[in-house]
Amino acid sequence: MSSELSAQEPRWRRLPEERPGQILSAALAVFGERGLAAARLDDIAKRAGLSKGTIYLYFPNKEELFREVVRHTVISQLEEGERMVSEKTTSATATLTEFMQRYWAFIRSSQFAPIFRLIHAEIHNFPDLARFYGEEVVARGHRLVSGIIARGIASGEFRQMDPAVAARMLSAPFVMHGLWCTHRECFTSVAKKSDEQVLDELMQFYLYAIRPCDANQRACGTVTP
């Protein structure tokens, strides 16, 4: 009924190496759209091009699959971040500029928004994952930025300030603008802006916010000890 003459294309192939990855990325997509509870394993299976039973060959249950989706995605992002870090030692401003460009690209990638949504949606039910994310991703990212900022302060490129605070003040608008841009149809504030424009606005605003107040560098902004 299905295939007319079908030169015996096998109905399916054994791909035990690739399955976990296929399942995880399909699951990320479906979880990201529907949320954990409303996501159906049948939909994940269909999206991954296999059947529901197969998922249970690789993951013990839905909850553990969810955990693995988050861990896997977050960790792969971390590793990508690591690569970004081990870089040249130009001026702090140049380093920061490049960091912001890459950070924005990461935030606008297809992985960021769903993971953000999932973690915040399930923060009560999976406090361990949220903790892991908060420490291994958010705090870690903040520490990375902190380092650049501290270097810039020392060199006189940036004004005197708490680098940890400065890191949060960079991260926060990037993340929020990422969310807004992911749903431009809802958030009219960024509806007519391109990603490049938004990045530009973010960079200009931030660089102004951390620059020394006068050319010949003396501490002026209030310093948080």
Q: Which does 12 bind (CB under 5 to 8 A by kind): DNA, its own copies, none?
A: DNA
Half-sphere exposure of 81 (CA within 13 A, CB side): 20
125 contacts DNA (rule: CB under 7 A): no
Among 81, 84, 93, 121, binds its own copies (CB under 8 A): 121
Q: Which of residues 29-68 bind its own copies (CB under 8 A)?
A: 33-38
Q: Would you call 179 exposed, middle or buried from its count of C-beta atoms within 10 A (0-12, 13-18, 19+)?
A: middle
Q: Give yes or no for residue 53 binding DNA (CB under 7 A).
A: yes
130 contacts its own copies (rule: CB under 8 A): yes
Instruction: Indicate the length of the chain as a whole number.
Output: 225
Chosen residue from 183, 194, 218, 219 binding its own copies by CB under 8 A = 183
The single residue among 1, 4, 7, 13 that binds DNA, judged by CB under 7 A, is: 13
| Structure token digits, residue 62 | 């839905």
Instruction: Name the token pair of 43.
Output: 């939909």
d(CA 120, CA 81): 21
* Residues contacting residue 54 through CB under 8 Å, at least 6 positions apart: 19, 23, 45
Q: 198: number of CA atoms within 13 Å, CB side?
A: 23
Q: Which chain residues interact with its own copies by CB under 8 A?
A: 33-38, 116-117, 120-125, 127, 130-131, 133-135, 138-139, 142, 159, 161-162, 164-169, 171-173, 175-177, 179-180, 183, 185-190, 200-202, 204-206, 208-209, 213-214, 221-222, 224
Site residues, DNA (CB under 7 A) = 8, 10-16, 19, 38-42, 45, 50-54, 56-57, 61-63
